[in-house]
A and B are shown apart, each in its own frame.
Chain A
Amino acid sequence: MLRTAAPYLRFFLILWIVVTVVFISLRLAPGDPAVLLLGPTAGRQDVAENLADIRERYGLDRPMIVQYGIYLTDIVTGDLGNSNRSDRPVIGLIATAAPVTINLILLSILVAIPIAVFLGMTAARYRNSPYDITVRGVATLAMAIPSFWIGLLFLNFFAISTIWLPASGYAPLSEDPLGFLRHMLLPVTTLAIYLVGTLTRFVYTETADTLEQDYITVSRAMGIRPRSLLFRFAARNSLTPMIIVVGVEIGTLIGGAVIVEEVFGLPGLGRLLLNAVLGRDYPLVQGCVLAITVAVILLNLLAEFIYRRLNPQAAE
């Protein structure tokens, strides 16, 4: 009984910690949301009443512990509140922005996995060859280069110097599939480069280990062709753990998406969150972080689940 409940407890514990940390750090950061809303003249005596009204409307005049209690109660009842700045429901703002980020991350993963699998496995097959050394070097470089820098380079070359691709903006897939691809090409490539680096190194290590195992030596002795050996026999063992790695990387990818969305002007969750932080829009920041946390935890649980299905040994 306790064992089945444990994952759920862990899930809620993590959520509670994240929500609390965000709640407190937002209020410790300098900057008053009500003043930001009214602008430079918020200090005038004739707007004092209006300023007090705004504080009251958003509950900013109450003690922090009371605000926290109300916030937790609202979350439990599924109410994320309205944005302080735009007065719109936080859920709606997140729902509009999320598809952009989901598409960005999903496409990056779909692009990165085949490339990483091919590079990682072939490099492991030809271990210590110049090819292997080049692949590993490039993979390390891809991991190390900050994505904002790659993004700016792409922007400069493909969009500013040549105008081959749009420099910023977004077109929904459902309305304009071609425009969607053109707008997504640079951001997805930017984000995928990091992922290719991480995954290639992972596939490489796993495959190199697998290739040294007894069953591979036996298979090789039986005269199975090297290509089948690599892509059919070794692949299954060395690729299933990648599911877990992709799950873990989701958090990093969302972090990368914040930067990529800002550089390429995509109206996604990352940019929504960034602007909410700058505008001290407490409910929106809290809502975005909550949504991202839930998504990361669920995706990790999903990755774990798939992994166990594919690899029954791990379930024990």
Chain B
Amino acid sequence: MHMYRPIKVASVAGFVACALGMSAPAAWADESTLTVALSGDIDNFDPATNQLIAFQAAIATTVFDSLVGYDADLNVVPRLAETYEVNEDASVFTFDLVDGATFHNGEAVDAAAVISSLQRSAELGGVFGGPLQAVTSFDAPDADTVVLTLNASYAPFLTALTNVAILAPSSYENAVSTPIGSGPFVFESWTPNDSIVLSRNEDYWGAKPAYGQLVFKPIPDPQVALTNLYAGEVDVVAEPSTAVVAQTDEGRAQIIRPSASNSVVYIEMMGTKGTLANVHLRRALAHAFDREAVKAVAYGGQGDSVPSPLPTSSFVYADLEGFPFDLDKAREEFAASGAAEGIEVDLEVLAGFPEAEQMGRIWQASLAQVGIKLNVVVSELSVWLDRYVSRNYDMTWNFFGVSPDPHSFFDVIMRPHLEGEYQNQEVVDLVRQGIETSDMDERKAIYTQLQEIVVADLPVMAVQSRPIASIASNSVEGFAMNPLGWPLYKGVSKSE
């Protein structure tokens, strides 16, 4: 009974369209809904503070516009800024705003509104707003032009702006519950644990979506989500686990993968506990890490397992040797560290990522042969996050989507270590030089050096890139993912 319903609706719509002498798919698509299964609910709708990947893809890039955005391959492309200019030393950025853009509440998207929104992000700081704190003056020479002057050269500034959504200035007070932007979709409603409903922005300044509604449904179990996709209740499963992707029947659904994966898994080895303060001990751990086994068992043979902390797709990626799997060398480094035989090291892992636990078990087995007892500690998010933020750990598992500019890795993952136990002035200087020069060759040399130091010192050890994919029903067309793991909903259409 259930299986017939969507077919019936579709054929009725098709019938009406034929009677009116219109092309059937267009008329049907216009009224149709794209339903997406998310693995968790979204409760905070403020794009300045919510950093979840699911939120970035589902709300921050649909309800909101940024000045510049990404295309599917992470090239920076114009968005609210129709054109933009950067001066030679990357310290003055001039943006020409598109004509006729309005927020969903009717207010105009003019220079004053854009500046107000950027200033709010700067005040809130963090990963998104932090780079804006370098802006010394926000100017509006006319209503359509925004000029940002920075205190120094800042090469990654444009990529940083892709994460800064522009909010309607009157909406800040209720931004957490009622997001108002200028994007292609208007926020309609949120029913906790049930659905988030967006509708097409009929007044959108750019190309309007081909479908009327975008609905997100939180379905925690990816197997159940896939079943719902087979049954026609959802069109896209946004964050399926690797195991569920592997068992997807490709006759009944399509698997969508990005051109590359910038989502890299790390082991952060320098916490306030100081257990791994000795570099030889960290190197012993690295030599006992069997990359091939982890890739084969935990990640189903997918992803790039390399020592560099930057994704292989990065323009500055350096192919380094690191510390290959070798238990004899691990024992040598262990002896050099002077640590006591049978030393216990805790690895903090976030619950809900079975592949991380599998990785821990493989590592545990090799480390036991070296004389190091590895404890894999799996905790729910609130507990894991508390330890991560206070850095009260021996070492912790983590993953991060490295933006096309390599600076993001140093700004997000390395920064707490550089502010804490990993005192290395050379790295701090190089990181600053990396953002102060816009010359590509110079930057490449700087980041190669940085990768070499991180790989040798191991404040953070790269595990590998995470295989990312979405599952879409066969009727979905034009659906893509970018290498950060964001599903791109805007250009999707549905056929019958």
List the interface of chain A (C-beta within 8 A of B): 29-32, 35-47, 49-50, 83, 85-88, 93, 96-97, 155, 159-160, 163-170, 182, 262, 265-268, 271-272, 275, 278-280
Contact = CB atoms under 8 A, between A and B. Distances in A.
B2 A168 contact: no
B381 interface: yes
Interface string B42-80: 011000011110000000000000000000000000000
Contacts of B385: 31, 35-36, 39-40, 42
Interface in B196-251: 217-221, 223-225, 227-228, 230-231, 233
B63 to A, nearest CB: 16
B228 A97 contact: no
A38 B386 CA distance: 11
Interface of B: 2-3, 41, 43-44, 49-52, 124-127, 130, 133, 174, 176-177, 190-194, 217-221, 223-225, 227-228, 230-231, 233, 380-383, 385-386, 388-391, 398, 412, 415-416, 419
A93 B416 contact: no
Nearest to A163: B231
A86 B43 CA distance: 5
Across chains A and B, which 9 residue pairs bring their CB atoms closest together, nearest first?
A31-B382, A267-B194, A87-B176, A46-B125, A267-B193, A86-B43, A43-B389, A85-B43, A167-B224
Given A167-B227, A169-B194, A30 B176 contact: no
Given A163-B227, A265-B220, 8 more contacts: A30-B386, A35-B389, A43-B391, A46-B125, A96-B191, A265-B224, A278-B382, A279-B382
A86 B192 contact: yes
B126 A47 contact: yes
Contacts of B126: 38, 41, 44, 46-47, 50
Query: Which one of B124, B130, B192 has the greatest number of beta carbons of chain A within 10 Å?
Result: B192
Nearest to B173: A87
Nearest to B232: A163
Contacts of B2: 163-166, 182
Contact of A44 (B43, B49, B381, B416): B416
B192 A169 contact: no
Contact of B124 (A50, A85, A165, A275): A50
Contacts of A41: 51, 126-127, 412
A30 B49 CA distance: 22
A39 B56 CA distance: 14
Contacts of A46: 125-126, 130, 133
Contacts of A43: 388-391, 416
Contact of A31 (B220, B224, B383): B383
B192 A267 contact: yes
A272 B41 CA distance: 11
B165 to A, nearest CB: 16
A223 to B, nearest CB: 51
B177 to A, nearest CB: 5
Nearest to A89: B177
9 contacts: A31-B385, A35-B385, A36-B381, A43-B416, A83-B43, A86-B177, A165-B2, A167-B228, A168-B221
Given A38-B49, A280-B382, A86 B44 contact: yes
B419 A272 contact: no
A272 B224 contact: no
A49 B130 CA distance: 12
Contact of A275 (B191, B193, B228): B193
Nearest to A86: B43
A139 to B, nearest CB: 30
Nearest to B380: A278
A44 B227 CA distance: 41
B382 A155 contact: no
Given A47-B125, A50-B126, A267-B192, A42 B383 contact: no
A157 to B, nearest CB: 12
A169 B233 contact: yes
Given A41-B51, A43-B391, A86-B177, A160 B43 contact: no
A236 to B, nearest CB: 42
Contacts of A166: 2, 228, 231, 233
A122 to B, nearest CB: 33
B224 A42 contact: no
B386 A31 contact: yes
Query: Which one of B124, B224, B386 has the greatest number of beta carbons of chain A within 10 Å?
Result: B224
A168 B224 contact: yes
Contacts of A32: 382, 386, 389
Contacts of A31: 382-383, 385-386
A280 B385 CA distance: 12
Contacts of A275: 41, 192-193
Contacts of B43: 83, 85-86, 279
A42 B193 CA distance: 25
Given A159-B224, A168-B228, A265-B224, A36 B219 contact: no
